Structure 1
Amino acid sequence: MQLTGKITRESLMTLEAYSTWRKQHKAEVIAHRKLRSVALGDHVTLQFEDERTIRYQIQEMLRIEKIFEEDAIGHELETYAPLAPDGSNWKATMLIEYPDVNERQRELARLIGIEDRMFVEVEGQPRVYAIADEDLDRENDQKTSAVHFLRFEFPAATAAAIRAGAGVKLGCDHRNYPAHVAIPAETLACLAGDLR
């Protein structure tokens, strides 16, 4: 899988080529995704996306659905390519996970609006709150969704501080899920590479 800086139709592999590549590289991609994941408390995980994770997601969708028609490939690109960061931000898939169905139903009702209360706090800089679900609204009056897409748009000074090695916390100040965690150094080094 060649990283090109922009995911286009021309930069995707054919289904046959991807099948061969996947057998040899799946473990690497899983390790990369794990490195870019941050657990916030027991029930929220943010998977910070990049070109590699999104490119893999698109190729997997094409493989699973056996998509080879140009229009359908274009649809997958339109759906997933915007989820890759573009130099001034971090983009993440937020997963709210409760194994028990009844508990999940109850908690998703209590967590309405959580996606708007997620933040990144860089040492010496003001908090940057997530811009959530830009593609469509994922909650209603009864509950929030278990999956949200977040963008953390950084002012230049904040991005520079991250690249310079400042400490960074991921947090949530929703009244029913207050939590924060320092982003581990290895993960932070990887995420800093998303900023230019």
Structure 2
Amino acid sequence: MTVMAKEITRADILDMAEYAKVRAEKRKALVGIKRNRRVPLGPHATFYFENYETMWQQIHEMLFIERGGEAQIPDELEAYNPLIPNGRELVATLMFEIDNPDLRKAVLSKLGGVEETVFLRLAGQEIVATAEADVDRTTADGKASSVQFLHFPFTDAQAAAFAAPGTEVTLGVKHPAYAHMTVLTDDVRAALAKDFD
């Protein structure tokens, strides 16, 4: 079994001229990786389950687009390394993707605290997500950010149950303004199970 790296270091960062040469190929390869790491939920939400590859690409894209050079690298590593699953966890970026600005404002204004209501359910147990603590993503007036970063901490037994073929895993949100659930496909469950050590 291949053990995935759990942290991106300065040594993993390509020179931007080198990255430019492989960018199209890397982006194309990532499409295949992301296919079974993307889970839509309800009319507006999508969960993007992160791993080393998705964060490596994200860091390189930020460096490539923003052109901040060497000085930008430590900030990107600090921002994105915490989103690489480490040990017995899954990590997801939850995005509320609403193109219409008026609708987006209306929906998000009712979703304060949504990050505290996300769960995975399997084998009769519920794993409640914990939000990344870098920034408070709900304002004092109850408006949620359109982007949430969530960690799902598993016990060894829960990780084993999740990885078992055929296990039914439900992803859901219990927020009264956005109560939705979906069952993960077996392909998604199998892909995410590889994130566990």
Q: Distance in 1 between matches of 2:179 and 2:82?
A: 29
Match of 1:29 in 2: 30
SS at match of 2:190: helix
Q: Distance in 2 between matches of 1:144 and 1:80?
A: 21
Query: What is the number of equivalent residue pairs in this alignment?
Result: 192
Q: Distance in 1 between matches of 2:180 and 2:171?
A: 8
Asked if 1:91 corresponds to 2:91, the answer is yes
Instruction: Report the Cα offset of residue 133 of structure 1.
Output: 2.8
For the aligned residue pairs, the C-alpha RMSD in angstroms reads 1.4
Instruction: Report the Cα offset of residue 99 of structure 1.
Output: 2.3
**1:53-99 CA distances to partner (integer Å, 9 max, x unpaired)?**
00000011111112322x42111101111111012101111001222
Q: Is the 8 A contact 1:4 1:11 kept in 2?
A: no
Q: Is the 8 A contact 2:49 2:93 kept in 1?
A: yes
Instruction: Report the Cα offset of residue 5 of structure 1.
Output: 4.3
Tell me, which stretches of 5 or more residues in structure 2 are unaligned?
none
Tell me, which stretches of 5 or more residues in structure 1 are unaligned?
none
Corresponding letter in the other structure for 1:167: E
Match of 2:189 in 1: 188
Corresponding letter in the other structure for 1:122: L
Match of 2:73 in 1: 73
Corresponding letter in the other structure for 1:118: V
* Worse-matched range after superposition: 3-12 or 32-41: 3-12
Match of 1:18 in 2: 19
**1:17-62 CA distances to partner (integer Å, 9 max, x unpaired)?**
1111112232121232232010111111100000000000001111
The percent identity for this pair of structures is: 35
Match of 1:107 in 2: 107
Q: Distance in 2 between matches of 1:68 and 1:92?
A: 28
Match of 1:130 in 2: 129
Q: Distance in 2 between matches of 1:112 and 1:47?
A: 20
**Over 3 Å off, 4+ runs:** none
Q: Is the 8 A contact 2:115 2:131 kept in 1?
A: yes
Match of 1:38 in 2: 39
Q: Distance in 1 between matches of 2:72 and 2:98?
A: 33
Instruction: Report the Cα offset of residue 6 of structure 1.
Output: 2.8
TM-score (norm 1): 0.92
